[in-house]
Amino acid sequence: MLSSVKGKSVIVTGGSKGIGRGIARVFAREGANVAIASRGDAAAAVACDEIEQEGGGTAYHVPCDVSDWDSVRSMVESVAARSGGVDVLCANAGAFPQTKIVDMDPSEWDQVLATNLKSAFLCVKACIPHFDNAKKGRVVLTSSITGPVTGFPGWSHYGASKSGQLGFLKTAAMELARYGTTINAVMPGNIYTEGLQDLGEEYLKTMAASIPLKRLGDVEDIGHAALFFASDEAGYITGQQIVVDGGQIIPESLEAIEEI
């Protein structure tokens, strides 16, 4: 049994859908006060209702574009004012359009890097004034296996952004230590989310077949890993990452996966 996050103020960017929604649900179930930061209202309202109905903690939506500094700063200030500070930041929002390098407009590269990588810097920067040494702040980034470990055609920008998050993580861990705050990353494999569904049935089917555990991950699989990093018990872990992928990166060949 891990220490409780009951009553803690938790920001989950991209908490209105997919993995972020799973993270928000897992933290709220443990009694946290969760701020869902995303651009759209409708999906966020559904995610907040779902949490309220399940009981435990609470959830509210704060509109935010994580690629924009003013928007991030105002989101964090509003959470701190409403919830009495910020204890945990789950910087999870991200986008993964699929375009090969030869076809990619440079503006798409900038957009993906801003949404997935610059956003981590902006969110951490905005939270620093609220990380209080006594309260043991926590940051959990949602990176990916794509980039740091694997490649996939169409995701050069995405992979670069997800590897970049891990580069950011190492120095951020050193700089946040003085505030008593840890920062770690979860590296999901293929998790069944709204965003992944957009890639089509064929993608989902072949991905599931390439995973030793023979299923896509559930959003709460990532939520539980994030909850661990946010616990007191993980207080001596910082600057690290954990792969949560059903064993997807293990097989050396098609033959190896077909044998099991």
- List, by residue number, the catalytic residues: 158
* 3-state DSSP assignment of residue 159: helix
Residue 141 sits in the site that holds ligand NAP (CB under 6 A): no
Stretch that binds ligand NAP, among 24-32, 91-99, 174-182, 225-233 (CB under 6 A): 91-99
Considering only 191, 211, 230, 234, the residue that binds ligand NAP (CB under 6 A) is 191
**Cα separations (Å) of 86 from 22, 76, 100, 182?**
20, 8, 39, 13
Cβ closest to ligand NAP, residue 136 vs residue 187: 187
Considering only 196, 225, 226, 227, the residue that binds ligand NAP (CB under 6 A) is 196
Residue 148 sits in the site that holds ligand NAP (CB under 6 A): no
Where do the DSSP E strands lie in the chain?
A: 9-13, 33-38, 58-63, 88-91, 138-142, 182-188, 241-244
Stretch that binds ligand NAP, among 33-41, 50-58, 130-138, 176-184 (CB under 6 A): 33-41
259, exposed or middle or buried, with CB in 10 Å at 0-12, 13-18, 19+? exposed
* 3-state DSSP assignment of residue 191: strand
Q: Are strands 58-63 and 182-188 parallel, antiparallel or unpaired?
A: unpaired
Considering only 67, 184, 231, 248, the residue that binds ligand NAP (CB under 6 A) is 67
Residue 195 sits in the site that holds ligand NAP (CB under 6 A): yes
Compute the residue count for the chain: 260
Considering only 164, 188, 223, 246, the residue that binds ligand NAP (CB under 6 A) is 188
Closest contact distance (angstroms) between CB of 202 and ligand NAP is 15
Please tell me the distance from the alpha carbon of residue 112 to that of residue 159, in angstroms, as a whole number: 10
Q: At a CB cut-off of 8 Å and minimum separation 6, what does 70 contact? A: none
Closest contact distance (angstroms) between CB of 252 and ligand NAP is 21
Residues near ligand NAP (CB under 6 A) are: 13-14, 16-20, 38-40, 43, 64-67, 92-96, 115-116, 142, 144, 188, 190-191, 193-196
